[in-house]
Amino acid sequence: MRTIILLIFGVVLSTTSLSAQTDAAKGKKIFNGNCAACHKLDKKLIGPALGNISDRRKLEWTVQFIKDSKAMIAKGDKEAIEVYNKFNKIPMISYSYLSDEEILNVIYYLDNAK
Ligand code: HEC
């Protein structure tokens, strides 16, 4: 029981810190350096357009996808499989070397770039 409570607490804590990152300039730099070869904000390229990604995906989902989309596909995540199939089954690189903070800054940039 104690472990369960601690677990729930941990999840709440990590979700809170998830929404606290708001540096679009840093996010833009990471995006241009790592993602722009395959993604644009407003158009399909190799992968889908990513502008305002949070309008259609949950934040936790997007973070997980960027870290390891292949694991999500392997686990049977419906949305991950759908977008993978739609984009000719080209798996995306796993950005496990980016920190949560870096990924959150990228997402913030995607959601707020004009
Ligand atoms: C080599 C090409 C490539 C690079 C580089 C790349 N992606 Fe992708 N990305 C894809 C493809 C292709 C898909 C479509 C899904 C799939 O094939 O698994 C995708 C899908 C996504 C999705 C899901 C979009 C949706 O509509 O659900 C997100 C989010 C995403 N990428 C973010 C990023 C971020 C952030 C970076 C840089 C850190 C990045 N990608 C770098 C090719 C790439």
Which protein residue has the closest C-alpha to ligand 1 atom 12?
A: 47
- Give residue-wise pLDDT tens across range 75-111: 999 999 999 999 999 999 999 999 999 999 999 999 9
Which protein residue has the closest C-alpha to ligand 1 atom 5?
A: 35
Cα of 49 from ligand 1 centre, angstroms: 9
Burial (CB count within 10 angstroms: exposed 0-12, middle 13-18, buried 19+), residue 6: exposed
| Predicted pLDDT at 33 | 97
Q: What is the CATH number of domain 2-112?
A: 1.10.760.10
Question: For residue 113, how far is the Cα from the chain centroid?
Answer: 16
Give CA–CA dist 101/18, Å, rounded. 8
- Give residue-wise pLDDT tens across range 11-56: 555 555 555 557 999 999 999 999 999 999 999 999 999 999 999 9
User: Of all atoms in ligand 1, which is nearest to the CA of residue 30?
Assistant: 38
pTM: 0.87
